[in-house]
Amino acid sequence: MQNLRADVKELMQLLQQTELFAETDLEALETLAAAAELRACARGEILFNAGDRATGLYVVAEGRVLVSRVGRDGREQILHDFGPGELVGEVAMFSGGDFPAGAQAAEAARVLFLSRDTFVRLAHDQPDLLLGLIAVLSRRLRHFVHLVDDLSLKEVDARLARILLEMAAGEITFELPMSKAQLAARIGTIPETLSRCLKRLQNNGVIQVQGPKLELLKVRVLQQLAGE
């Protein structure tokens, strides 16, 4: 991970586009920007591992960062897939102090690092920031409820259907925003199983797969599979 030079103006702009700091006033933003470090990481590079001591949090400026847990057998479960503007590693700051999961760049990325101190000092006289953080955490919890629901109560087909609909975002053709191996890890399975599920859906005429290109032929069927 490489530290980059960046002027405060640019950092302020980046911060303004984040979920947490969008409403923060300019003065505070400047303090924040002055204390932030901009870092570049290569595809696959690790930001932190589960169990690492957390000295601060990250904000994704560009690229995508995956947060995941890895089992003893090497299998990986992706917990979050964060894009520009999203916070990474905020939980560790307010409970425990170590990261409960690991994070790595899914593609070349730039991230802002904010030290714990910087953040705490700022939050002290910006109660709005706390409200924003509460909103972020609540959204994360909601996401986890659905993830647990999926993993515990649904089969792979249902999870796949749901994520396809989500990634399609209303379109009927789209390109997978990640490798199939990563997609498998997101829905809590392995590439082989994913491959077979996609095949089955294709054989049933529900979707059309062409490398990373997907076409949703029967959206209704997918919705039903996903559990409404």
The residues of the shown chain that bind DNA, judged by CB under 7 A, are 73, 75, 155-157, 179-181, 188-196, 198-199, 209, 212
Residue 131 CA to residue 158 CA, distance in Å, equals: 35
Residue 45 CA to residue 30 CA, distance in Å, equals: 29
Closest separation in Å from C-beta 213 to its own copies: 28
Q: Which of 69, 121, 180, 218 binds its own copies (CB under 8 A)?
A: 69
**Which residue's CB is nearer to its own copies, number 40 or number 70?**
70
Closest separation in Å from C-beta 15 to DNA: 32
**Which residue's CB is nearer to its own copies, number 40 or number 136?**
136
Crossing angle of helices 127-153 and 156-168, rounded to 10°: 140
Q: Assess contact for 103 and 45: CB atoms under 8 A.
A: no
Residue 9 interacts with which of its own copies, DNA, none, CB < 5 to 8 Å by class: none
Closest separation in Å from C-beta 127 to DNA: 44
CA distance to 45, 70, 111, per residue, from 2 (Å): 11, 25, 10
Q: Assess contact for 54 and 48: CB atoms under 8 A.
A: yes
Query: What six digits make up the tokens of 163?
Result: 């994520």
Binding of its own copies by 100 (CB under 8 A): yes
Residue 144 interacts with which of its own copies, DNA, none, CB < 5 to 8 Å by class: its own copies
Q: Assess contact for 215 and 200: CB atoms under 8 A.
A: no
Matching residue, tokens 């960046």: 6
List of residues contacting its own copies (CB under 8 A):
69-73, 75, 77, 79, 90-91, 93-96, 100-101, 127, 130-131, 133-135, 137-142, 144-149, 151-154, 188, 227
